[in-house]
Structure formats: C-alpha cells, structure tokens
Structure 1
Amino acid sequence: MSEQSNNVRLEATNHDGTLIGKTVTPAKFASGRTAGFAFADVLFAIDLGTQFVLGDAYEDWRGNLYDIAMIPDLGTLVEWKPGLDSVIGDFYKKDGTPVPLCPRNMVRSLVARLADKGLTATIAVEIEATLFEESIQEARAKGYRDLTPLGGSTGSTYQIARSGDWVAYMEAVTARLDALGIVWEAWTDEAAPGQTELNLAPTDPMTLTDNWVRTKQVMREVANDLGHTVTFMAKPTAGFGQGAHLNLSLQRDGANQFYADGDLAPLLRHSVGGLMATMAGNTSIALPQITSYRRLEDFSGPPTTISWGVNNKTASVRAIIHHPKYSRLEYRLPGADVNPYYAAAGLLAGVLAGIDGKIEPPAEVTDMAWCLPDRAGVARIPDTMSKAWRALDADPLLREYLGDEFVDFWVASRRWEWMEFHTKGGDPFSPLSEWESLRYFEFA
C-alpha cells in the first residue's frame, strides 16, 4: 500500500450503534496501523447521555478507563473526501484477544461458524430514515419536535411527486455512495411524510454492516451540507415508525441453499425454526431503545407476532422460495435505530441455532399475522423493553451463540436505559416523549 498522505478518520461503533472515532495524521496512522490505536474502554461503559451504566459485572478489561486497542481493517480504507480517508476497525484487549462486546468481532465470529459448515451468508438491508427541512441547528433549537417533513407534509408510499428538495437530497446521497464504492440498488418514498427507504445491495455480512454504518453517516453529512436534517429514530414523530429489514440467503459452493424448486429447503426450514425459537430474546437486540417499542402497532407495518410465512409481509420472518438466485429470508423485526452489527449477529445466531439443532419451525401463518387472537397459538413479540431483556436473559441459544458476557452486558444496559427513561422525564403514556427526542434523534 502506498504511503498515507491524507489524514485518517478511525471509525467503529459502540454498543448503541453510534459511529465513534478519532482523526489522526498520516504519521500517526503509519505508527499504529498494525499495533492499533488506544481508545478508552469507557466507550463500552457509558450510555447515550454520557452516564456510566451500572448493574452488571465489569470484566477485567472494562470499567476503569483502561485503554483497548482499535486495530484498523485496512480493507476498509477509503478516501472519504479530499484530504480525509476513513478506515473501520475492531477492538482488542491488551492480551490481543477480541473484545467480546465489539460489534464487528461478533459478526466475524458468527461468519466463521458458518464457514466451518461450508456455508457463506449474503445479506442486504433496507434502510428507512426520515428527512426534515430544518437544519440540524434549527432542529436542536426546537428540541427535535414539530419539524417540517422534507418533500411535503402528506405521506403515502412509492410516490414520485415529491418536491425537488427531497429528490435532490436522495440524488446527493447516492452520488456519495457511488464515489465511496458502496453499492446500492434502489431508493423510494416511504409511508410517512419525509420518509425514505434506501436499499443496499446484498454482500457478505461484514461488508454489508460496514456499508450500512457508512451509509447512515453519508446521509447525515449530506443533510448537513444541504441545510436539512435526517434521523434514524425508530419513531421520530407520532406517526409511522421506521425499520431496517435484513434479507439473508446461505450459499454452499456458490449455490443458494434456500432454494428447493418451490419447496421449503431443509436449511431454510431449520433457519426459520432457529429464528422463531430466538425471536423473543432477539427482540431486545433488534429493538434497542425505548422508542423502538412504540413502532409495534398492528396494521402499521412492523411485525407484532412471532410468526413466519411464505411471502407474508405481515409476519416477522418472510420466506421467499421460488427463485434459484433470490430465495431468501426477510427478517422484518429490526428498527431503524438498531446497531447494524448486532442486528446481523442476532440474525446469524438464530440461523446457526436452527441449523445446528435442526429446529423445526412452528406452523406457517398463511393469513394476516397482525391482530391474531390468543387461540391462534402465535405469541406476540415482546412489546416493552423490560419484556424483551427478560426474554434475552433467559434464552440459552442466544447465550450460546452470542456469549454470556455480551448477553449479561446488554441486559444490564437495557435495564439501565429503562431506568433512565422512567426517572429522568420519560413519559410512557405519550406517543413520543421529549426525553426520547433529545436522547435518540441524532444518535440512533
């Protein structure tokens, strides 16, 4: 690789999915590109309000402001803009072992477990976000409330008749993605006023999640450049929420293992079984914040039941089975505020659990999966943060595939988030509280 001439922005995500990092000179980057760069372990010990999260056992590497090493993945090094490169990295402890909570390390570990079975995964994502006319400074001054949707105040879906400012924003975003080499497939108007959906092309899990976090950063920077603002909150207004659907297929020697000429392929069937078995626990990961659970309304888009069905978009897992290339599972649970790496890790963990245990799925839901009565035998998705963390805490499969240290940490961090909301001004009976807007609008 040629000698570095640009400053370099070192990038990673914390457990809440926020893009963090520091910018270093070319000389500094050269000195640490192999050994890594020091980051305080506090990044895995504080919440979005910069308060220490208490309530779980701090491991020997975390909690005393020790330094952990962020080692850059040089395969991710790109020119972000003239004079500035960016690179994504992973966190390691002093003894050289991976930090168990590091989001990228978790994805890498699960991809390796698939590889041991001769399998590779391909994942795509549908990113939803809401755009507002106001600049970020204006949005802050208004407490992120009562903002003006970009492109018009009415909502529908697939509408082309958006105003030119909305279209100009999306064209600027996709031009930036093209320049960075991030492959996208489509963008469209979504249901809520100002809302958009941007689809990233399928690729391997690590590349996809890297592209996902960078795309969110691009969307924020373009909004700033154009004097607008964008948010990935799960529900930024009292109207529609927004999600991040993941589409997964598994290959062996290049052949799609989810295709069986219109039948349910065994690997797909067991993958669905694993996802159903872990869905309640995975809810805590897929819906990480207080606002995440405000999306769970019947008839509003997101799934509300632990269910699956062939081509059934009202279920939490949709199976597409009739095409040798495009047969896949659509995991519809995650909100737009999810940590991309944790979302992929939870998905892969459920799939691996199903494959290893040959778990059979429950009966397919062939009708609408919303509003099913109790006699249907289909459980509801945990609809509060506390129900979800309890389900994760008790899930032996997710503990096996994600690790006890991660599960214990995550449960404690969500319990802390719940306590912060209920003791510092959150209103559980409001369609959307001011506390949530201030906490999540910029950092979700």
Structure 2
Amino acid sequence: MTELTTSAPGSHARESGARTVRLEATNPEGCFLGKIVEGKKFASGVDSGFAFADLLFGLDLGNAPAFGFAYPDWRGHLDDVYFRPDMSTLVEWEQGLDAVIGDYWLKDGTPVPLCPRNLVRKMVDRLSAVGFTATVAVEIEATVFEESIHEARTRGYRDLTPLGGSAGTAYHLAKSKDWVEYMSAVAGRLDEVGIAWEAWSDEDAAGQVELNLAPGDPITVADAWARTRQIMREVAFERGHTVTFMAKPTAGYGQASHINLSLQRDGANVFYVEDGPSETMLRAIGGLLATMEGNTSIVLPQITSYRRLVDLSGPPVTVTWGIRNKTTAVRAVCGHPKQSRLEYRLPGADANLYLALAGVLAGVIAGVERKIEPPEPVGAMAWCLPPGLGIERIPDTMTKAADALEADPILRELLGDEFVDYWVGSRRWEWMQFHTAGGDPFAELSEWESARYFELP
C-alpha cells in the first residue's frame, strides 16, 4: 500500500487565519477541480481527507456519464473517494483564501488508479528505483481574446478578436498595451503565489502567448502548470478578456505543450556527454519512440487535438527523433552539462500535464530498463516525408491513438491496466459523442468542438 506523506498537517491553516481553503486537483481530462472549505473544517480533515463523489472520474466534458467500458469495483454508484491535501503545496491564494493541491485516495488508503497526480508519483518512484531522478519543464501556450468570457459564450466562442493585434509569426514586440499588461499581470500573480517562471513571449498565432515555467521535479512542475492556467484564466476574467488552452481555438495555428526532460544520477545530468547523445539519452529516446503511438492518445486527448497534425504547421507528424531538429517528435539537445535534454514535442495545449508526464516518464523508464535502442536520427525535415522510408506517422485520429494505447504492452504494464482501459474507453466515448451529438469531421473546426473545449479543460 502506498502511503502519502505530508508536512506539518494542518499547521498552516491554523496559523494563517484563512477563512477558507480551496482544495485543488485535476480530473483525467485536465479540468482543475475542487471545493472551498471553511478554515476549521479544513484543519479537521487534513489527515482523514475530504470526500468527493466518484463521478469526477465518470463524467465527460459535456457533463454526461461516460459508458461503454467496464467500471472497477470502487466506481459506478457515486461512492466517495478522498482528497488528501499535500501540505507542501499550501499557499495564500488571495486575502482570506488559501489553496492546497492534493490527490485522490480510496477508503482502504490506496491511491485512486485514475488520479493523474498519483500516476506521476508512481512513475517518479519507479524511476527512483533504478537510480534516477527527472527534471522537467513545460511550455504553456494559450490564446487570449479581447472579449470577456460572457461575450465569448454569447458568440459560441467564434469570431473573437485576438488580444494584442493580428501580428503572428512569434516574438513580435509590437503588441498593443493591453496584451503586455495582461501578461505582466499574469507574471505578477505567479510571483505572488511562488510559481517560478522563466519567460513569456508572443507565439505564432494572433493573440497567442507562450509562457515557460522553470524546470523542477515532475510533480512540482505539474502543480505549477495547473495553477498557472488557473491564474491565466482569473487574470483574463478580471480584465474583461478570455483565454483558452484549446488545442486549436481557431482555424489557424494550433497550440502545444512541449515537455523538456533530463535525467540525473547523484546530481549529474546523465544525458550529457561531450559528444552526445549519451547512452542513457539514446535509450530514453528508444523508449519514447517505442511508446509514442500509444502515448499519442494521452498527450492528444480531444477531437480537436488531431486537427493540429498537419505537415509544415509546427507539430510533429512522424515517430522520429533528431539532434536539434524541431520538425521531429523528440528533439535531442546535446553537448552541455546542464542543458542536455530531450524535448517531447507532441503534446497539445489541451493535454493534462500530469498524465502527459506519466506517459513520457513511462517511455523513458522502459527505454532505460529494457535498453531500447532508437532508430537513426532524422537529419532532414521530418514533415512531408515520402513513403517507403520505414518511418511511421503519428496516429492522426482519436480512435487510431486509442487502439495504439490499448495494444501497447509497455504502457499497460507501467501505467496499469485500470488506467489504460479507462482512458481508452473514455476516448472512444468522446469519439462517439462527437459523431452523434453535432460534431462535423469535415469542418476545420466545428461549433461542437468550440462549445466543448474552449473553456474546458
């Protein structure tokens, strides 16, 4: 049985005098969920946990129960699971309100197998068992619009005005002041709650921003990702704007969530050798490529995620790797003691980072443990490759990706049968909802997708 450790249970709540505490966690879809509890109630439940109905693992993004796949014994009749706070994450969110991130646990004290944060911890522990720690970083991409969320809803999230002007192609400084003020306010809020960030800039699409969080351990970075997106939403609401992390909010450029990763042993970066890649890096690449088709279902979770997979438009479309090659799915950065790393370029902005990290770490673990050798790196452009080269394309539909995950023995072993079966079933349910409830597979972006994904996850 896995035990959860916390630091000084309840002490902050008792000392801070906060009137209320917000409990925070994601569901598998990546939605930031929780509840507000009164300060004394929080202090009394830190050790025992707080009850949540298991429906948080059973509803789709349209608030309908998902069917068509088996429920485990602990699900299906609205029984309770228990949120247990990780007190190391407790912060003052605003005056009178604290916030704490936690995990979901069953009555018998075992982790909920579908809990995204528990799944990352499982992979971190497995990596530690073979002598490694991981450092990760994430690039958050989002699009900000001038209209308020209320106006966006009235318009069906269509025909909105990009904040900052129509300039694209990335890195433009000639943005209107409202765009700069929005991002400056976001950065200020990150500083206030202690989230380390490194940079923000104009991205390819009009109104699009890229925000780089500082590197750290996988759980800490995923926690920062979840809170950063909440902050970006809150700042947009306060300023009368709206922001979306939808994979493709308009018919233009899509949005990604690139993951950078390195491994350490005894504090040294084992991906580094002077004439890299190192042997460990090569095996990690081998594992990432061996699991990429199955992991596609996890890192491209929604219907719209697959609309990004267009040659020459930015996202990778082939199961490839290369040194400094941003057209491949895995980019190796070599030759620097600190900066040698892998960039996993497949995830969309709509991916749940906890689950994405769990899948990526599973691939790395498999590569290192099983000594999986990668194919030759691609030195040319990995888009528009002719057939006959023996290079697989990334699954380009939700059902193809779900089939690949279901058949992947590595991910099934490491992530667990219960998670894999649940995720595959929920993706097939999402596909059915799209095709029976108003989705249009022939549109560049259907109204059904805008209504379902613009605000959530």
TM-score of the pair, normalised by structure 1:
0.99
Matched, 1:417 2:430: yes
Deviation at 1:154, TM superposition (A): 2.9
Amino acid at match of 1:5: G
Instruction: State, as a whole percentage, how many aligned pairs show the same letter.
Output: 66
Deviation at 1:375, TM superposition (A): 1.6
Tell me the equivalent position of 1:5: 17
Q: The residue matched to 1:323 in structure 2 has which SS?
A: coil
Aligned with 2:257 (options 227, 244, 250): 244
Matched, 1:122 2:135: yes
Tell me the equivalent position of 1:405: 418
Tell me the equivalent position of 2:290: 277
Q: What is the distance in 2 between the residues matched to 1:98 and 1:9?
A: 21
Deviation at 1:373, TM superposition (A): 1.1
Q: The residue matched to 2:214 in structure 1 has which SS?
A: strand
Amino acid at match of 2:354: Y
Q: What is the distance in 2 between the residues matched to 1:119 and 1:355?
A: 10
Tell me the equivalent position of 1:138: 151
Tell me the equivalent position of 2:441: 428
Matched, 1:40 2:56: no
Deviation at 1:250, TM superposition (A): 0.3
Give the stretch that moved more between structures: 331-340 or 263-272. 263-272
Q: CA RMSD in A?
A: 0.7
Tell me the equivalent position of 2:279: 266
Matched, 1:25 2:38: yes
Tell me the equivalent position of 2:64: 51
Tell me the equivalent position of 1:63: 76
Q: The residue matched to 1:299 in structure 2 has which SS?
A: coil
Aligned with 1:156 (options 157, 169, 180): 169
Q: What is the distance in 1 between the residues matched to 2:301 and 2:128?
A: 29
Q: What is the distance in 1 between the residues matched to 2:263 and 2:408?
A: 24
TM-score of the pair, normalised by structure 2:
0.96
Deviation at 1:262, TM superposition (A): 2.1
Q: The residue matched to 2:419 in structure 1 has which SS?
A: helix
Where in structure 1 are there 5+ consecutive unaligned residues?
Answer: none
Q: What is the distance in 2 between the residues matched to 1:246 and 1:336?
A: 11
Q: What is the distance in 2 between the residues matched to 1:63 and 1:235?
A: 33
Tell me the equivalent position of 2:8: none
Tell me the equivalent position of 1:386: 399
Q: What is the distance in 2 between the residues matched to 1:195 and 1:255?
A: 36
Amino acid at match of 1:370: W
Tell me the equivalent position of 1:323: 336
Count of matched residue pairs: 444
State the Cα deviation string for residues 36-83 of structure 1 (Å, max 9, x = none).
000000000110111111111111111110001000000000000111
Matched, 1:86 2:99: yes
Deviation at 1:376, TM superposition (A): 1.8
Tell me the equivalent position of 2:184: 171
Amino acid at match of 2:265: R
Tell me the equivalent position of 1:345: 358
Q: What is the distance in 2 between the residues matched to 1:376 and 1:160?
A: 42
Q: What is the distance in 1 between the residues matched to 2:435 and 2:292?
A: 26
Deviation at 1:377, TM superposition (A): 1.4
**Moved segments of 4+, more than 3 Å:** none
Amino acid at match of 2:372: I
Q: What is the distance in 2 between the residues matched to 1:343 and 1:307?
A: 18
Deviation at 1:309, TM superposition (A): 0.2
Amino acid at match of 1:364: P
Q: What is the distance in 2 between the residues matched to 1:92 and 1:297?
A: 40
Amino acid at match of 1:366: G
